[in-house]
Structure 1
Amino acid sequence: MAANRRKDRNGDVLPLYETKSTPHLDGLESINENRIANLTGKVQSLKSLTMNIGTEITSSSKLMDTMNESYYTTQNTLKGTMGRLKNVSKSSGISIWTWLVFFCIVALIFVLVRY
Protein backbone atom coordinates (compact mmCIF):
# COMPACT_ATOMS: atom_id res chain seq x y z
CA MET A 1 0.00 0.00 0.00
CA ALA A 2 2.93 2.32 0.65
CA ALA A 3 4.04 1.75 -2.95
CA ASN A 4 1.05 3.69 -4.33
CA ARG A 5 1.57 6.75 -2.12
CA ARG A 6 3.42 9.88 -3.12
CA LYS A 7 7.04 10.36 -2.23
CA ASP A 8 9.13 13.45 -1.72
CA ARG A 9 12.54 14.17 -3.30
CA ASN A 10 14.37 12.03 -0.81
CA GLY A 11 12.11 9.05 -1.48
CA ASP A 12 10.32 9.30 1.84
CA VAL A 13 6.61 8.49 1.75
CA LEU A 14 4.44 11.57 2.18
CA PRO A 15 1.46 11.44 4.53
CA LEU A 16 -2.03 11.07 3.05
CA TYR A 17 -2.82 14.62 4.02
CA GLU A 18 -0.51 17.50 4.65
CA THR A 19 -0.51 18.97 8.08
CA LYS A 20 0.39 22.57 8.65
CA SER A 21 0.85 24.39 11.87
CA THR A 22 -2.29 25.62 13.59
CA PRO A 23 -1.14 29.27 13.77
CA HIS A 24 -0.59 29.23 10.00
CA LEU A 25 -4.09 27.84 9.40
CA ASP A 26 -5.58 30.33 11.84
CA GLY A 27 -3.85 33.15 9.98
CA LEU A 28 -5.18 31.96 6.63
CA GLU A 29 -8.66 31.54 8.05
CA SER A 30 -8.53 35.03 9.53
CA ILE A 31 -7.47 36.46 6.16
CA ASN A 32 -10.31 34.58 4.44
CA GLU A 33 -12.85 35.83 6.98
CA ASN A 34 -11.66 39.41 6.46
CA ARG A 35 -11.95 39.03 2.70
CA ILE A 36 -15.42 37.52 3.03
CA ALA A 37 -16.52 40.39 5.28
CA ASN A 38 -15.09 42.88 2.79
CA LEU A 39 -16.85 41.22 -0.14
CA THR A 40 -20.10 41.02 1.82
CA GLY A 41 -19.92 44.76 2.44
CA LYS A 42 -19.30 45.43 -1.24
CA VAL A 43 -22.19 43.18 -2.27
CA GLN A 44 -24.51 45.01 0.15
CA SER A 45 -23.35 48.36 -1.27
CA LEU A 46 -24.01 47.19 -4.82
CA LYS A 47 -27.41 45.83 -3.83
CA SER A 48 -28.32 49.15 -2.22
CA LEU A 49 -27.09 51.03 -5.28
CA THR A 50 -29.14 48.91 -7.68
CA MET A 51 -32.24 49.35 -5.51
CA ASN A 52 -31.73 53.13 -5.58
CA ILE A 53 -31.27 53.05 -9.35
CA GLY A 54 -34.53 51.11 -9.68
CA THR A 55 -36.35 53.67 -7.54
CA GLU A 56 -34.91 56.52 -9.60
CA ILE A 57 -35.96 54.86 -12.86
CA THR A 58 -39.50 54.39 -11.56
CA SER A 59 -39.83 58.00 -10.44
CA SER A 60 -38.31 59.26 -13.70
CA SER A 61 -40.78 57.18 -15.70
CA LYS A 62 -43.69 58.65 -13.74
CA LEU A 63 -42.34 62.16 -14.29
CA MET A 64 -41.99 61.51 -18.03
CA ASP A 65 -45.59 60.26 -18.20
CA THR A 66 -46.80 63.38 -16.39
CA MET A 67 -44.80 65.63 -18.71
CA ASN A 68 -46.14 63.77 -21.74
CA GLU A 69 -49.74 64.27 -20.60
CA SER A 70 -49.03 67.94 -19.94
CA TYR A 71 -47.49 68.30 -23.40
CA TYR A 72 -50.57 66.85 -25.09
CA THR A 73 -52.87 69.09 -23.04
CA THR A 74 -50.83 72.15 -24.00
CA GLN A 75 -50.74 71.06 -27.63
CA ASN A 76 -54.53 70.74 -27.76
CA THR A 77 -54.97 74.12 -26.08
CA LEU A 78 -52.65 75.78 -28.60
CA LYS A 79 -54.46 74.13 -31.51
CA GLY A 80 -57.76 75.52 -30.24
CA THR A 81 -56.28 78.97 -29.69
CA MET A 82 -54.74 79.02 -33.17
CA GLY A 83 -58.07 77.96 -34.67
CA ARG A 84 -59.87 80.78 -32.87
CA LEU A 85 -57.18 83.27 -33.95
CA LYS A 86 -57.60 82.21 -37.56
CA ASN A 87 -61.37 82.67 -37.29
CA VAL A 88 -60.94 86.12 -35.74
CA SER A 89 -58.45 87.18 -38.41
CA LYS A 90 -60.71 85.96 -41.22
CA SER A 91 -63.82 87.61 -39.82
CA SER A 92 -62.14 90.94 -39.07
CA GLY A 93 -60.32 91.22 -42.37
CA ILE A 94 -56.92 91.58 -40.64
CA SER A 95 -54.25 89.07 -41.63
CA ILE A 96 -52.76 86.57 -39.18
CA TRP A 97 -49.37 88.24 -39.55
CA THR A 98 -50.79 91.53 -38.34
CA TRP A 99 -52.19 89.79 -35.26
CA LEU A 100 -48.84 88.08 -34.70
CA VAL A 101 -46.97 91.39 -34.83
CA PHE A 102 -49.55 92.94 -32.49
CA PHE A 103 -49.13 90.07 -30.03
CA CYS A 104 -45.33 90.37 -30.13
CA ILE A 105 -45.51 94.11 -29.45
CA VAL A 106 -47.88 93.59 -26.50
CA ALA A 107 -45.65 90.82 -25.10
CA LEU A 108 -42.58 93.06 -25.47
CA ILE A 109 -44.35 95.87 -23.61
CA PHE A 110 -45.24 93.49 -20.76
CA VAL A 111 -41.64 92.29 -20.53
CA LEU A 112 -40.21 95.81 -20.55
CA VAL A 113 -42.69 97.07 -17.94
CA ARG A 114 -41.94 94.16 -15.64
CA TYR A 115 -38.19 94.86 -15.64
Structure 2
Amino acid sequence: MANRFGRKDKVDTALPLYETRQSPSSPFLGRSSFGDDELESRNNGRIEGLTGKVQSLKHITMAIGHEINSSTNLMESMNDSFSSTHNVVSTTMLKLKNLSQRHGISIWTWLLFFCCVALVFVWVRY
Protein backbone atom coordinates (compact mmCIF):
# COMPACT_ATOMS: atom_id res chain seq x y z
CA MET A 1 0.00 0.00 0.00
CA ALA A 2 2.96 2.30 0.56
CA ASN A 3 3.92 1.95 -3.08
CA ARG A 4 0.39 2.67 -4.17
CA PHE A 5 0.46 6.15 -2.60
CA GLY A 6 3.94 7.01 -3.80
CA ARG A 7 5.82 6.49 -0.52
CA LYS A 8 9.31 5.18 -1.00
CA ASP A 9 9.98 4.27 2.61
CA LYS A 10 8.88 1.00 4.09
CA VAL A 11 6.20 0.58 6.69
CA ASP A 12 8.78 -0.39 9.33
CA THR A 13 10.58 2.94 8.99
CA ALA A 14 7.46 5.08 9.28
CA LEU A 15 8.04 8.58 10.53
CA PRO A 16 6.39 9.85 13.71
CA LEU A 17 3.45 12.19 13.29
CA TYR A 18 5.22 15.57 13.37
CA GLU A 19 8.65 14.62 12.05
CA THR A 20 9.72 14.86 8.44
CA ARG A 21 12.76 13.82 6.54
CA GLN A 22 15.33 16.54 6.14
CA SER A 23 15.32 18.06 2.68
CA PRO A 24 17.15 21.09 1.38
CA SER A 25 15.34 24.21 2.50
CA SER A 26 16.08 26.06 -0.72
CA PRO A 27 16.63 24.91 -4.29
CA PHE A 28 19.44 27.48 -4.52
CA LEU A 29 21.65 26.01 -1.75
CA GLY A 30 24.00 24.17 -4.09
CA ARG A 31 24.39 27.08 -6.50
CA SER A 32 27.08 29.59 -5.79
CA SER A 33 26.29 31.82 -8.80
CA PHE A 34 23.33 33.45 -7.05
CA GLY A 35 24.13 35.77 -4.21
CA ASP A 36 21.78 36.64 -1.41
CA ASP A 37 21.45 40.19 -2.68
CA GLU A 38 20.53 39.04 -6.17
CA LEU A 39 17.91 36.64 -4.82
CA GLU A 40 16.53 39.36 -2.58
CA SER A 41 16.28 41.79 -5.49
CA ARG A 42 14.51 39.17 -7.62
CA ASN A 43 12.08 38.48 -4.81
CA ASN A 44 11.45 42.20 -4.33
CA GLY A 45 10.81 42.58 -8.05
CA ARG A 46 8.35 39.70 -8.00
CA ILE A 47 6.64 41.12 -4.93
CA GLU A 48 6.26 44.50 -6.66
CA GLY A 49 4.85 42.77 -9.73
CA LEU A 50 2.35 40.82 -7.64
CA THR A 51 1.42 43.97 -5.73
CA GLY A 52 0.69 45.75 -9.00
CA LYS A 53 -1.44 42.85 -10.19
CA VAL A 54 -3.36 42.78 -6.91
CA GLN A 55 -3.98 46.54 -7.14
CA SER A 56 -5.26 46.21 -10.72
CA LEU A 57 -7.56 43.34 -9.69
CA LYS A 58 -8.82 45.44 -6.78
CA HIS A 59 -9.51 48.34 -9.15
CA ILE A 60 -11.36 46.06 -11.58
CA THR A 61 -13.39 44.54 -8.74
CA MET A 62 -14.37 47.97 -7.46
CA ALA A 63 -15.40 49.03 -10.98
CA ILE A 64 -17.51 45.88 -11.34
CA GLY A 65 -19.18 46.64 -7.99
CA HIS A 66 -20.03 50.20 -9.08
CA GLU A 67 -21.41 48.90 -12.39
CA ILE A 68 -23.58 46.36 -10.59
CA ASN A 69 -24.94 49.04 -8.24
CA SER A 70 -25.77 51.41 -11.10
CA SER A 71 -27.38 48.59 -13.10
CA THR A 72 -29.47 47.60 -10.08
CA ASN A 73 -30.66 51.19 -9.62
CA LEU A 74 -31.52 51.43 -13.33
CA MET A 75 -33.46 48.15 -13.21
CA GLU A 76 -35.41 49.32 -10.15
CA SER A 77 -36.35 52.60 -11.84
CA MET A 78 -37.35 50.75 -15.01
CA ASN A 79 -39.48 48.37 -12.96
CA ASP A 80 -41.24 51.32 -11.31
CA SER A 81 -41.90 53.03 -14.64
CA PHE A 82 -43.18 49.79 -16.22
CA SER A 83 -45.46 49.28 -13.23
CA SER A 84 -46.93 52.77 -13.56
CA THR A 85 -47.29 52.29 -17.33
CA HIS A 86 -49.08 48.99 -16.74
CA ASN A 87 -51.51 50.73 -14.41
CA VAL A 88 -52.22 53.48 -16.95
CA VAL A 89 -52.75 51.02 -19.81
CA SER A 90 -54.99 48.73 -17.76
CA THR A 91 -57.08 51.72 -16.62
CA THR A 92 -57.38 52.93 -20.22
CA MET A 93 -58.42 49.47 -21.43
CA LEU A 94 -61.03 49.26 -18.67
CA LYS A 95 -62.42 52.67 -19.67
CA LEU A 96 -62.53 51.63 -23.34
CA LYS A 97 -64.32 48.42 -22.44
CA ASN A 98 -66.89 50.32 -20.36
CA LEU A 99 -67.33 52.87 -23.14
CA SER A 100 -67.92 50.22 -25.75
CA GLN A 101 -70.43 48.37 -23.58
CA ARG A 102 -72.39 51.53 -22.71
CA HIS A 103 -72.85 52.68 -26.30
CA GLY A 104 -73.54 49.29 -27.80
CA ILE A 105 -70.48 49.40 -30.06
CA SER A 106 -68.25 46.35 -29.78
CA ILE A 107 -64.55 46.55 -29.02
CA TRP A 108 -63.82 45.14 -32.48
CA THR A 109 -65.52 48.14 -34.06
CA TRP A 110 -63.37 50.50 -32.00
CA LEU A 111 -60.27 48.49 -32.95
CA LEU A 112 -61.20 48.73 -36.64
CA PHE A 113 -61.77 52.48 -36.28
CA PHE A 114 -58.39 52.91 -34.56
CA CYS A 115 -56.62 50.92 -37.30
CA CYS A 116 -58.26 53.06 -40.00
CA VAL A 117 -57.19 56.26 -38.26
CA ALA A 118 -53.64 54.91 -37.88
CA LEU A 119 -53.51 53.99 -41.58
CA VAL A 120 -54.67 57.50 -42.52
CA PHE A 121 -51.91 59.02 -40.38
CA VAL A 122 -49.30 56.74 -41.95
CA TRP A 123 -50.60 57.47 -45.47
CA VAL A 124 -50.56 61.25 -44.89
CA ARG A 125 -47.07 61.15 -43.40
CA TYR A 126 -45.55 59.46 -46.46
Structure 1 unaligned regions, length at least 5: 1-17
Determine the C-alpha separation between the residues in 1 that align with 2:79 and 2:86: 10
SS at 1:40 equivalent: helix
Aligned-residue RMSD, C-alpha: 2.2
Q: Partner of 2:60 in structure 1? A: 49
2:116 matches 1:105:
yes
**TM value normalised by structure 2:** 0.68
Structure 2 unaligned regions, length at least 5: 1-28
Determine the C-alpha separation between the residues in 2 that align with 1:79 and 1:28: 75
- Count the aligned residue pairs: 98
2:70 matches 1:59:
yes
After superposing the two structures, state which structure 1 stretch, 83-92 or 38-47, moved more: 83-92
Determine the C-alpha separation between the residues in 1 that align with 2:116 and 2:67: 44
2:109 matches 1:79:
no
C-alpha distance 97-47 of structure 1, shift in aligned 2 (>3 A)? same
Structure number having the greater helix percentage: 1
**TM value normalised by structure 1:** 0.74
